[in-house]
């Protein structure tokens, strides 16, 4: 497969070919066709450099961190904490502002449950800013992934707070005029995604954060679809908390990141408790370590964190600004191609609007699962269903879509193969 070189980005055809050679899985075939992997929005593939780092840890250094005085324990702890520093630098945060989690979902639940623990008197005076009750409001948007919706529903249920929702316009953009009306003096939390996992749209972080902070509300950013694809500086964005998952950015499953401003993390009561997150334990009460360790109870995801740092190093070597440009061009190519097919509707921003290399679409008269199966027969891997975002699908009057999502290893030829397969699916199912 050749790669066009006329896309004006920091990446060129030769470099993408080199990048692809680092990913063993991209060399396989599926159903007799070369694999075309367009499901990176769900989980990315892993380069040898990341796979090798995790294997080397188990072969040479495997040990419990923060617990032993022997050489292996010391080496493992150094690698573990060096990984924290690497990831912190990648997203513009301090080392003490990065908490390891299993995934972004756990990170959001950690915030929500920590906040609800203040209603039990946990955390003392420093945690009072997190206390919610009747009359307080939590604000989300209509496009959120279930992981950034259900925990807030549950927090509202536990505390008596009210959950409010900012709607979308017909192009899938967050209605800032509505946001200015919804976010008010009783708003305590505003939670929203940086990039929609369904629409691919890059959302107005600065504007929403300014509205929240103007009334003293905390901002929680779901960065799952931005950390892998855009340069990210959390201090510059001025958000209070953020979460993202390693498996979407070249790292293994089982590792996620919670970012929180240092003073907030040290005031938030812990969610999971037990070993490793304490200073002193008595029979009736205990004292907790400062953040981030106070949120890292039990045996940690050591190899996964080290591998995430290797993934961050890989992405940094390529350049996140160059990855962003490459994917933006791929996204435009994908949307242009799909919208050029009669009977195909792309959800979200029209061609030319800012987006990552992701698009969800509907083929009139053909169920999304049938479209996905047709593409899979040609070796093209896409996602089908509601993508853990049922409300935004209802907003556009559909129950399921087919989603194609690329990454730094995706080629223009692969986009074209997918677009052609979608066009062919209409003829196959007789809806031309």
Q: Which two tokens stand for residue 6?
A: 């006329």
Q: Which tokens go with 205?
A: 């972080």
Instruction: Please tell me the least confidently modeled range out of 65-69, 180-184, 217-221, 379-383.
Output: 65-69
280 located within any domain: yes
Per-residue pLDDT tens digits for 252-294: 999 999 999 999 999 999 989 998 899 999 999 999 999 999 9
* Res. 7: pLDDT tops 80: no
> In the structure, what pLDDT confidence band is assigned to residue 351 with cuts at 50, 70 and 90?
low
Question: Residue 124 — very low, low, confident or very high, per pLDDT cuts 50/70/90?
Answer: confident
Same domain (yes/no): 290, 200 = yes
Residue 365: per-residue pLDDT: 97
The last residue of a domain, from among 264, 283, 316: 316
Whether 51 is in a domain gets the answer no
For residue 399, tell me if it sits in a domain.
yes
pLDDT tens for 185-216 read: 999 999 999 999 999 999 999 999 999 999 99
Mean pLDDT of 372-381: 98
- Claim to verify: residue 185 and residue 265 sit in the same structural domain: yes
Mean pLDDT of 234-241: 98
Residue 198 phi, psi (nearest 5): -105, -45
Q: Are residues 333 and 349 in the same domain?
A: yes
Same domain, 31 and 76: no
Question: In this model, does residue 6 exceed pLDDT 80?
Answer: no
Q: Please report the pLDDT score of residue 9 as a whole number.
A: 53
Element (H, E) at 256: strand 256-260
SS (H, E, C) the chain: CCCCCCCCCCCCHHHHHHHHHCCHHHHCEECCEECEECECCCCCCCCHHHHHHHHHHHHHCCCCCCCCCCHHHHHHHHHHHHHHHHHHHHCCCCHHHEEEECCHHHHHHHHHHHHHHHHHCCCHHHHHHHCCCCCCEEEEECCCCHHHCHHHHHHHHHHCCEEEEECECCCCCECHHHHHHHCCCCEEEEEEECECCCCCEECCHHHHHHHHHHCCCEEEEECCCCCCCCCCCHHHHCCCEEEEEHHHCCCCCCCEEEEECHHHHHHCCCCCCCCCCEEEECCCCEEECCCCHHHCCCCCCHHHHHHHHHHHHHHHHHCHHHHHHHHHHHHHHHHHHHHCCCCEEECCCCCCCCECCEEEEEECCECHHHHHHHHHHCCEECEEECCCCHHHHHHCCCCCEEEEECCCCCCHHHHHHHHHHHHHHHHHCCCC
Q: What is the pLDDT of residue 13?
A: 83
Residues 311 and 326 both lie in one domain: no
Which of 282, 316, 350 is the endpoint of a domain? 316
Do 29 and 84 lie in one domain? The reply is no
Pick from 262, 282, 316: which residue ends a domain?
316
| Predicted local confidence at residue 353, as pLDDT | 72
pLDDT at 352: 66
| CATH code assigned at 259 | 3.40.640.10
Residue 98, in any domain of the structure: yes
With 80 as the cut, is the pLDDT of residue 105 above it?
A: yes
Query: What is the pLDDT at residue 321?
Result: 96
- Domains contained in the chain, number: 2
Does residue 97 sit within a domain?
yes
Do 38 and 123 belong together in one domain?
no
Gyration radius (Cα) of the chain, Å: 22
Query: Which pLDDT score, from 0 to 100, does residue 1 have?
Result: 39
d(CA 370, CA 361): 13
Q: Are residues 224 and 102 in the same domain?
A: yes
Same domain, yes or no: 32 and 102 = no
Residue 39: which pLDDT band, with cuts at 50, 70 and 90? very high
Same domain, 243 and 392: no
Cβ–Cβ under 8 Å, residues 30 and 423: no
Given a cut of 60, is residue 155 above it in pLDDT? yes
Contact 229, 154 (CB under 8 A): no
Residue 380 lies in a domain: yes
Query: pTM here?
Result: 0.95
Distant-in-sequence, close-in-space partners of 52: CB < 8 Å, separation ≥ 6: none
Residue 125 pLDDT grade (very low, low, confident, very high; cuts 50, 70, 90): confident
> Is there a domain that residue 7 lies in?
no
DSSP codes joined into one string, 354-415: -B-SEEEEEETTB-HHHHHHHHHHTTEE-EEE-TT-HHHHHHTT-S-EEEEE--TT--HHHH
Q: Which residues are catalytic?
A: 388
Helix 71-90 × helix 302-318 angle, to 10°:
40
Confidence band for 2, pLDDT divided at 50, 70 and 90: very low
Are residues 225 and 110 part of one domain?
yes
pLDDT for 3 equals 44
User: What is the average pLDDT value for the chain, to the nearest integer?
Assistant: 95
Q: Are residues 35 and 119 in the same domain?
A: no
Note down the domain range covering 158: 61-316
- Residue where the block lists tokens 């692969």: 414
User: Rounded to 10 degrees, what is the CA torsion of 38, 43, 49, 52?
Assistant: -130
* Percent of the chain whose predicted confidence (pLDDT) is above 70: 97
Asked whether residue 55 is domain-assigned, the answer is: no
């Amino acid at each position: 497969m050749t790669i066009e070189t006329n896309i004006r980005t920091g990446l060129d055809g030769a470099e993408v070919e080199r990048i692809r050679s680092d990913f063993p899985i991209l060399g396989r075939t599926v159903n007799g066709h070369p694999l075309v992997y367009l499901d990176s929005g769900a989980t990315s593939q892993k380069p040898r450099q990341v796979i090798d780092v995790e294997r080397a840890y188990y072969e040479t250094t495997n040990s419990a961190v923060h617990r032993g005085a022997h050489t292996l324990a010391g080496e493992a702890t150094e690698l573990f904490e060096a990984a924290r520093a690497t990831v912190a630098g990648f997203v513009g945060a301090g080392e003490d502002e990065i908490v390891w989690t299993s995934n972004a979902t756990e990170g959001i639940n950690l915030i929500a449950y920590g906040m609800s623990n203040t209603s039990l008197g946990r955390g003392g005076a420093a945690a009072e800013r997190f206390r919610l009750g009747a009359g307080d409001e939590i604000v989300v948007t209509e496009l959120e992934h279930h992981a950034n919706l259900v925990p807030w529903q549950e927090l509202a249920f536990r505390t008596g707070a009210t959950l409010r929702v900012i709607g979308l316009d017909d192009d899938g953009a967050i209605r800032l005029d509505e946001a200015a009306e919804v976010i008010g003096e009783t708003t305590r939390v505003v939670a929203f995604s940086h990039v929609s996992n369904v629409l691919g749209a890059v959302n107005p972080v600065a504007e929403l954060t300014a509205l929240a902070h103007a009334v003293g509300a905390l901002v929680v950013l779901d960065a799952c679809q931005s950390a892998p694809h855009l340069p990210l500086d959390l201090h510059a964005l001025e958000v209070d908390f953020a979460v993202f998952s390693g498996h979407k950015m070249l790292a293994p499953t089982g590792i996620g990141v919670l970012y929180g401003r240092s003073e907030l993390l040290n005031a938030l009561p812990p969610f999971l408790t037990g070993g490793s997150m304490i200073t002193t334990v008595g029979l009736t009460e205990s004292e907790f370590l400062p953040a981030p360790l106070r949120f890292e109870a039990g045996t940690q995801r050591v190899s996964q964190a080290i591998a995430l740092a290797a993934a961050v190093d890989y992405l940094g070597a390529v350049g996140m600004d160059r990855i962003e440009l490459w994917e933006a061009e791929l996204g435009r190519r994908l949307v242009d191609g799909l919208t050029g097919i009669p009977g195909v509707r792309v959800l979200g921003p029209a061609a030319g609007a800012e987006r990552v290399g992701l698009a969800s679409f509907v083929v009139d008269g053909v169920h999304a699962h049938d479209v996905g199966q047709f593409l899979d027969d040609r070796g093209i891997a896409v996602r089908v269903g509601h993508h853990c975002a049922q409300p935004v699908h209802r907003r556009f009057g559909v129950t399921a879509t087919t989603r194609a999502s690329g990454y730094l290893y995706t080629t223009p030829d692969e986009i074209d193969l997918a677009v052609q397969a979608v066009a062919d699916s209409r003829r196959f199912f007789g809806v031309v």
